[in-house]
């Protein structure tokens, strides 16, 4: 079908819909059945069984299974069976972890699902985009992501960025003109909007002609990989570290095998020991646990209203050193109330919910209602619900409560044209005609901006020339309102000449007559003051970036404790004219940027980054997208943000609240700390396991551990306790220290030393226990091995508590983390079970230990953790 060639009447016929009423519920239901939900089909998921089998594709595991088969062939059936059992158990654990990670990451995608305005049963309603069907009449607005293919019916300065489809990054101007040509490329079908593209500005209505896989995007969807997995920098570094660790473990294991063979140990036994050791020592579970911990952290962030769109942001959050935050709605409540009015008759402050003296401000209030998107929408919707931007709502409320009714005004004036508000222009203009047919331009916007467009002023129903003195009066009024933290909006107008053109906004907005100013309060969010304070003590500077007036911004910044005595407030204009050198210096002192345009935001991000900062930047509008993309962490507003901003952001604040950024940073720091904790634990354990074997063969002794024991330890230590560490509570709430450097190694702050020293000691005490037992009872190798096995397990289970703190085990109450306590207790129980029950003894090559032997085990097992903690008495760095 060549949709671009059809007229509206033809479209209505083909799609069986009336544009004025849209589809009704029954029609929509039927079409949903027929066409299916409006979404692109995802690639088939990896089935669960394959995911499970994948756990065994690891080279070492295959080798281990091979070696097990050899031992089975040699008649060691129990050994072989047990090893297979442990390997399967390991696989199950890995599978559960991976599955969980995948599920929680999937859940994230759902959260960010978009919505759409459609006309159903004659009313405009918002529905989830998946529920849209062909024939639906829809509205598009600057900032929307188009979710279906749409033939446009009305257009008001609409442009769309279609690079996802056409590769052309320059926005395309849209129109409703019916195209004559049948074969036009997608980019030239200017009377259509396509799914997956972005509306950069303007408004439009249209009819859906294709949904889901039947959109142009759907046709090429098979070319896109939707299951693209983003690895975080840490995961990448771990992958690299993994190869080093694997090589190291393999070399050492080979050494153990060669030395063992040289001492005459049986060949198959040595090979099996070697392979088991390699399986145990290679931290193959690491990437999976990192993913699980990241995914669980992301879940916790959702509970705190922060939705992570890109996993790497979780880590970057912990490095953030500057937050550039919007003011309205993020630092303030976005609940505006007009509390002051000014015109040449004077200023009036409002003391109660009652309105203002109508006779003095009738024109000001009336014009602020005629030039008001919220009022126009309410009239059009005809459902009595007034929704919209809070500034517009405040103006509307001030008028209504003074007795100026929007219904009456909008029925006596006809709106001919709207130039919507945008934060670049900082104003909105409408052209209306009264019942006598006289047309007017009405503009409302930032007073300082409007002053440039006005040449006269209203004085008691008369139009006077705008003298320098009157300008000064206006400036005084602005300053006086702004000093009370009020956002100011001015209104101006002029009657239009008979045949004046109304298409060009520049020609329309000139020679205006200044009517007056409205000042509105937007109270700060109560929790923000503390959040800013916390960020400050965490070494993070908060900078306010606002489109508002300098004085308004400064007053609010002071109020919420953002602007210190020595802090500077700068306007976008002042910033623009500063040299690079000046900008560097200014950045150290500026806390508030006012009257900023979105392009300044991008420049501020760039300058902060080149000064070495890791920048988190908030934004909501279409024009904020470049700054959000450029920032290290782009943060979009969940409620007031446009789809375009959300698309560009790494993090979405569901509640638009600044303190949510603080919580996300705190969580980000905690997640990183926890990842470090279990890496430390797992690696120290592995070092201990390898060293005890290596020491023994070097000393020409029998092997202290049998393969099954090694695998068992690996299962117990790599398994639950490591997971539980990933869920640990933050050590110092994470916000009392400066941000981590992005380049910092995962082993920073002495962690490498801790891993090696603890690992070495774990190996050493295990060997000491083994040697002591052999010395006492030279014929009882099984006893000595049981002791070595128990020491190794217990030393690791004690050491796990040490890993919770960057100080020493004495510096944190050990049993705070109930998952950890439970996993350690169950590991101890399992150890006891394996040692004391006659069924397991032959399988695990163990024997019952006496009380005295247990004392020896515990005393030795405690050494690696407590001996080094004791050093703290003499040294203060806690290493
Ligand atoms: P913040 O960063 O505090 O959220 P902002 O950058 O979003 O603020 P804008 O909404 O762009 O600020 O507003 C900038 C100025 O434009 C305001 O100070 C006000 O004077 C004017 N303004 C805001 N909203 C409207 C509107 N709906 N119509 C006309 N003018 C407006």
Atom 29 of ligand 1, nearest CA residue: 445
Q: Tell me the domain boundaries of the chain.
A: 3-40+112-224, 287-301+669-729+746-872, 306-333+525-656, 337-521
Size of the chain, expressed as the number of residues it contains: 879
Q: Among the ranges 311-315, 716-720, 764-768, 806-810, which has the highest mean pLDDT value?
A: 764-768
* Least confident span in 19-28, 295-304, 374-383, 473-482: 374-383
* Mutational pocket test of ligand 1: of 489, 516, 595, 618, the residue with most ligand atoms within 8 Å of the beta carbon: 489
Residue, of 253 and 496, whose pLDDT is higher? 496
In this structure, how many other beta carbons lie within 10 angstroms of the beta carbon of residue 363?
Answer: 17
CA-CA distances (angstroms) from residue 183 to 194, 208, 298, 657?
17, 20, 47, 49
| Residue to probe by mutation, ligand 1, list 391, 448, 560, 645, most atoms within 8 Å of CB | 391
Arithmetic mean of pLDDT, 503-517: 94
Q: Whose CA is nearest to atom 30 of ligand 1?
A: 445
Arithmetic mean of pLDDT, 508-535: 96
* Average pLDDT score over residue span 621-634: 90
- Indicate if ligand 1 lies below 6 Å from the C-beta of 681: no
Q: Burial, 412: exposed, middle or buried (Cβ in 10 Å; 0-12, 13-18, 19+)?
A: exposed
- How many Cα atoms are found within 13 Å in the side-chain-facing hemisphere of 741? 7
Ligand 1 centre and the CA of 826: distance in Å?
A: 59
Write out pLDDT tens, residues 18-62. 999 999 999 999 999 999 998 877 666 677 777 777 777 666 677
Within 13 A of 269's CA, how many CA atoms are on the CB side? 13
Look at 37-41, 107-111, 168-172, 471-475 and tell me which has the smallest mean pLDDT.
107-111
Is 3-40+112-224 a domain of CATH 3.90.1150.10? no
pLDDT in tens, 797-826: 999 999 998 777 777 788 889 999 999 999
Residue 226 has pLDDT above 60, yes or no: no
Alpha carbon of 331 to ligand 1 centroid (Å): 15
Kindly state the DSSP code that residue 873 receives in the 8-state scheme: G
Q: Is the CB of 550 under 6 A from ligand 1?
A: no
Q: CA separation (Å) from 435 to 329, 479, 797?
A: 39, 38, 85
The verdict on whether 326 is a catalytic residue reads yes
Residue of minimum CA distance from atom 4 in ligand 1? 328
Q: Class for domain 337-521, per CATH?
A: alpha beta
Token pair, residue 415, equals: 């709106």
- 317 contacts: CB under 8 Å, gap ≥ 6: 616, 633, 651, 664, 665, 667, 668, 669
Rounded Cα gap, residues 479 and 481, in angstroms: 6
* Nearest CA, atom 20, ligand 1: 446
* 742-756: average pLDDT: 88
Residue 509: pLDDT over 80: yes
pLDDT of 249:
82
- Nearest CA owner, ligand 1 atom 22: 445
pLDDT score recorded for residue 228: 46
Q: Which residue has the CA at smallest separation from atom 19 of ligand 1?
A: 446
- CA 553 to ligand 1: nearest atom: 3
Say which residue, 511 or 299, is predicted with more confidence. Answer: 511
pLDDT band at 554 (very low <50, low <70, confident <90, very high): very high
Q: What is the pLDDT of residue 577?
A: 94
Angle formed at CA 208 by CA 202 and CA 212, multiple of 5 degrees = 110
Q: Which residue has the higher pLDDT, 749 or 763?
A: 763
pLDDT(229) > 60: no
Distance from the alpha carbon of residue 330 to the mean position of ligand 1, in angstroms: 14
Mean pLDDT lowest among 346-350, 379-383, 463-467: 379-383
Nearest-atom number in ligand 1 for the CA of 447 is: 20
Query: Is the pLDDT at 517 greater than 80, yes or no?
Result: yes
**Alpha carbon distance, N-terminus to C-terminus of the chain:** 73
* Alpha-carbon span 322 to 540, nearest angstrom: 5
pLDDT band for position 513 (cuts 50, 70, 90) = very high
For residue 439, how far is the Cα from the chain centroid? Answer: 48
Specify the fold of 287-301+669-729+746-872: Calcium-transporting ATPase, transmembrane domain (1.20.1110)
Residue 878 has a pLDDT of 42
Instruction: List residues bridging with 590 in a β-sheet.
Output: 568
* Same CATH fold assignment for domains 306-333+525-656 and 337-521: no
Q: What is the mean pLDDT of residues 342-368?
A: 90
Which of 143, 145, 142 has the alpha carbon at shortest distance from 129?
A: 145
The CATH class of 306-333+525-656 is alpha beta
Q: How far apart are CA 364 and CA 149, in angstroms?
A: 42
Lowest average pLDDT, out of 205-214, 218-227, 633-642, 783-792, goes to 218-227
Query: For the chain, what is the mean pLDDT?
Result: 88
When mean pLDDT is compared across 74-78, 282-286, 336-340, 448-452, the lowest value belongs to 282-286
- Of 69-83, 183-197, 756-770, least confident by mean pLDDT is 69-83
| HEC readout, 492-505 | EEEECCCCCCCCCH
pLDDT number for residue 42: 66
DSSP letter string, 436-449: TS-EEEEEEE-HHH
Which atom of ligand 1 lies closest to the CA of 423?
Answer: 11
DSSP string, 641-678: --HHHHHH-SEEETT--HHHHHHHHHHHHHHHHHHHHH
875 pLDDT tier (thresholds 50, 70, 90): low
3-state secondary structure of 39: coil
Q: Which residues pair with 439 in a beta bridge?
A: 433
Q: Are 735 and 538 in contact (CB under 8 A)?
A: yes
d(CA 127, CA 338): 32
CB-count exposure of residue 100 (10 Å: 0-12, 13-18, 19+): middle
Phi/psi for 695 (5° steps) reads: -55, -45
Q: Is 653 in contact with 298 (CB distance < 8 Å)?
A: no
Verify whether ligand 1 is closer than 6 Å to residue 136 (CB atom): no
The first and second tokens of residue 368, run together, are: 């602020």
pLDDT 10s digits, 57-113 = 666 677 777 777 877 877 778 778 887 887 788 778 778 777 776 776 666 666 656
Predicted local confidence at residue 879, as pLDDT: 42
Q: pLDDT tens-digit profile of 769-793? A: 999 999 999 999 999 999 999 999 9
Distance CA 737, CA 750 (A): 16
pLDDT number for residue 65: 79
pTM for this model (two decimals): 0.84
Dihedral, CA of residue 707, residue 711, residue 717 and residue 718, to nearest 10: 140
**Comparison of pLDDT for 875 and 588, the residue scoring more:** 588
- Supply the pLDDT for residue 382: 65
Q: What is the maximum span of the chain, computed from C-alpha positions, in angstroms?
A: 115
Q: Choose the catalytic residue: 136, 326, 620, 802.
A: 326
Of 150-164, 226-240, 718-732, 862-876, where does mean pLDDT reach its minimum? 226-240
What is the bridge-based pairing of β-strands 149-161 and 172-173? antiparallel
Whether residue 444 has its Cβ less than 6 Å from ligand 1? yes
Q: Which two tokens stand for residue 69?
A: 């088969």
Residue 22: the pLDDT is 93
Name the residue among 113, 232, 251 with its Cα closest to residue 668.
232
Quick one: what percent of the chain has pLDDT higher than 70?
94
């Amino acid at each position: 079908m060549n949709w671009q060639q059809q007229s509206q009447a033809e479209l209505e016929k083909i799609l069986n819909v009336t544009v004025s009423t849209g589809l009704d519920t029954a029609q929509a239901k039927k079409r949903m059945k027929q066409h299916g939900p409006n979404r692109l089909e995802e690639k088939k998921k990896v089935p669960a069984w394959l995911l499970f089998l994948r756990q065994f594709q690891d080279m070492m595991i295959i080798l281990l299974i091979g070696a097990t088969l050899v031992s089975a062939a040699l008649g060691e059936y129990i050994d072989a069976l047990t090893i297979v059992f442990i390997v399967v158990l390991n696989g199950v654990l890995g599978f559960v972890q991976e599955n969980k990670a995948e599920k929680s990451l999937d859940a994230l995608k759902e959260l960010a699902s978009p919505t759409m305005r459609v006309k159903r049963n004659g009313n405009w309603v918002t529905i989830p985009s998946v529920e849209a069907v062909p024939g639906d009449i829809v509205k598009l607005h600057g900032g929307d992501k188009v979710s279906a293919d749409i033939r446009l019916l009305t257009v008001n300065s609409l442009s769309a960025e279609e690079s996802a489809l056409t590769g052309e990054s320059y926005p395309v101007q849209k129109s409703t003109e019916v195209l004559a040509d049948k074969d036009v490329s997608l980019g030239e079908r200017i009377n259509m909007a396509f799914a997956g593209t972005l509306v950069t500005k303007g408004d439009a209505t249209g009819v859906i002609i294709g949904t889901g896989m039947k959109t142009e995007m759907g046709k090429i969807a098979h070319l896109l990989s939707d299951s693209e997995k983003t690895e975080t920098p840490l995961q990448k570094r771990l992958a690299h570290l993994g190869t080093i660790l694997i090589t190291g473990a393999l070399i050492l294991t080979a050494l153990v095998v060669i030395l063992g063979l040289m001492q005459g140990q049986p060949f198959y036994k040595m090979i099996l020991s070697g392979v088991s050791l390699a399986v145990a020592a290679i931290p193959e579970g690491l990437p999976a646990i990192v993913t699980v911990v990241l995914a669980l952290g992301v879940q916790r962030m959702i509970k705190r209203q922060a939705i992570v769109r890109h996993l790497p942001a979780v880590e970057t959050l912990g490095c953030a050193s500057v937050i550039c935050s919007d003011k309205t709605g993020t630092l303030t409540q976005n609940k505006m109330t007009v509390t002051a009015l000014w015109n040449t008759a004077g200023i009036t402050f409002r003391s109660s919910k009652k309105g203002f003296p109508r006779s003095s401000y009738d024109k000001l209030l009336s014009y602020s209602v005629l030039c008001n998107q919220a009022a126009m929408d309410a009239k059009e919707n005809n459902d009595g619900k007034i929704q919209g931007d809070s500034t517009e709502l405040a103006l509307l409320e001030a008028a209504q409560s003074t007795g100026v009714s929007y219904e009456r005004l909008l029925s006596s004036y006809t709106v001919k044209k709207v130039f919507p508000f945008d934060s670049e222009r900082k104003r909105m203009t409408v052209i209306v005609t009264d019942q006598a047919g006289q047309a007017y331009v009405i503009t409302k916007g930032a007073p300082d901006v409007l002053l440039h467009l006005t040449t006269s002023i209203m004085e008691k129903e008369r139009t006077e020339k705008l003298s320098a003195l009157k300008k000064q009066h206006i400036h005084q009024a602005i300053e006086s309102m702004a000093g009370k933290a009020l956002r100011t909006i001015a209104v101006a107008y002029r009657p239009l000449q008979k045949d004046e053109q109304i298409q060009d906004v520049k020609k329309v907005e000139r020679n205006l007559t200044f009517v007056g100013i409205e000042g509105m309060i937007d109270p700060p969010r109560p929790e923000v003051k503390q959040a800013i304070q916390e960020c400050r003590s965490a070494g993070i500077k908060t900078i306010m970036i606002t489109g508002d007036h300098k004085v308004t911004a400064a007053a609010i910044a002071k109020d919420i404790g953002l602007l210190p005595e020595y802090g500077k407030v700068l306007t976008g204009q002042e910033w623009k004219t500063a040299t690079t050198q000046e900008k560097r210096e200014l950045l150290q002192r500026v806390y508030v940027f006012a009257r900023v345009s979105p392009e300044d935001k991008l420049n501020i991000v760039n300058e902060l980054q080149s000064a070495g900062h890791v920048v988190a930047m908030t934004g909501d509008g279409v024009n904020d997208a470049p700054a959000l993309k450029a920032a290290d962490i782009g943060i979009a507003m969940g409620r007031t943000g446009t789809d375009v901003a959300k698309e560009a952001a790494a993090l979405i604040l569901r509640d638009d609240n600044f303190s949510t950024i603080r919580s996300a940073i705190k969580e980000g720091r905690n997640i990183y700390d926890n990842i470090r904790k279990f890496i430390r634990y797992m690696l120290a354990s592995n070092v201990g396991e390898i060293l005890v074997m290596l020491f023994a063969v070097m000393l020409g002794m029998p092997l202290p551990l049998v393969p099954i024991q090694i695998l068992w330890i690996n299962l117990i230590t790599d398994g639950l306790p490591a997971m539980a560490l990933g869920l640990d509570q933050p050590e110092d709430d994470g916000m009392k220290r400066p941000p981590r450097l992005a380049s910092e190694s995962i082993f920073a702050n002495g962690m490498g030393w801790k891993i090696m020293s603890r690992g070495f000691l774990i190996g050493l005490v295990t060997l000491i226990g083994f040697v002591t037992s052999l010395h006492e009872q030279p014929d009882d190798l099984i006893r000595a091995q049981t002791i070595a096995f128990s020491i190794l397990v217990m030393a690791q289970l004690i050491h796990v508590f040490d890993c919770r703190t960057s100080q020493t085990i004495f510096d944190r109450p050990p049993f705070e983390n109930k998952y950890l306590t439970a996993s350690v207790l169950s590991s101890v129980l399992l150890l006891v079970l394996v040692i004391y029950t006659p069924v397991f003894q032959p399988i695990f090559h163990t024997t019952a230990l006496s009380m005295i032997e247990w004392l020896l085990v515990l005393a030795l097992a405690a050494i690696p953790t407590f001996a080094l903690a004791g050093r703290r008495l003499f040294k203060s760095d806690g290493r």
